[in-house]
Chain A
Amino acid sequence: MCGIVGIYLKTKKFEKNLGKLLSVMLNNMESRGPDSAGFAIYKDESKKMYKFSLCINDLNFNKFKKEISKKIKKAKLNQISDHVILKTQKQPKKVIEIINSNFPKVSIVGYGRSIEIFKQVGNPKDVVKKFKLDSFSGTHGIGHTRMATESAITTNGSHPYSTGEDECLVHNGSLSNHNNLRRKLTKKGNTFNSENDTEVAAGYVSNSLSNNKSLKDTLTSALKDLDGFYTFIAGTRKGFAVVRDEIACKPAVIAETKNYVAIASEFQAMAHLPDVNNAKIFEPEPGIVYSWGK
Chain B
Amino acid sequence: MKLDLKKKKLREINNTLQNLDNKKNDRDFVIINPEGSHALCAGLNQEMKVLIKGHVGYYCGGMNQKAYLTIDGNVGTGVAENMMSGTVHVKGNASQSAGATAHGGLLIIDGDASSRCGISMKGIDIVVKGSVGHMSAFMAQSGTMVVCGDAGEALGDSLYEADIFVKGSVKSLGADCIEKKMEKKHLDKISNLLKKSEIKNIKPDNFKRYGSARKLYNFNIDNVSSY
Contact = CB atoms under 8 A, between A and B. Distances in A.
A286 B36 contact: no
Contacts of A253: 76, 95
| B interface secondary structure, majority | loop
Interface in B43-86: 54-58, 74, 76-77
Interface residues of A, number: 17
Interface residues of B, number: 20
B158 interface: no
B191 interface: no
Interface of A: 248-249, 251, 253, 266-272, 277, 281-283, 285-286
Contacts of B96: 248-249, 251
Given A277-B54, A286-B134, A271 B114 contact: no
Contacts of A248: 96, 114-115, 133-134
B114 A283 contact: yes
A267 B60 CA distance: 13
B93 A251 contact: no
Given A251-B76, A266-B57, A270-B36, 6 more contacts: A248-B115, A266-B58, A268-B36, A271-B36, A281-B55, A285-B133
A271 B35 contact: yes
B95 A251 contact: yes
A268 B38 CA distance: 9
A266 B96 CA distance: 12
Contacts of A281: 55, 74, 92-93
A271 B74 CA distance: 12
A24 B93 CA distance: 24
Contact of B74 (A251, A267, A286): A267
B172 interface: no
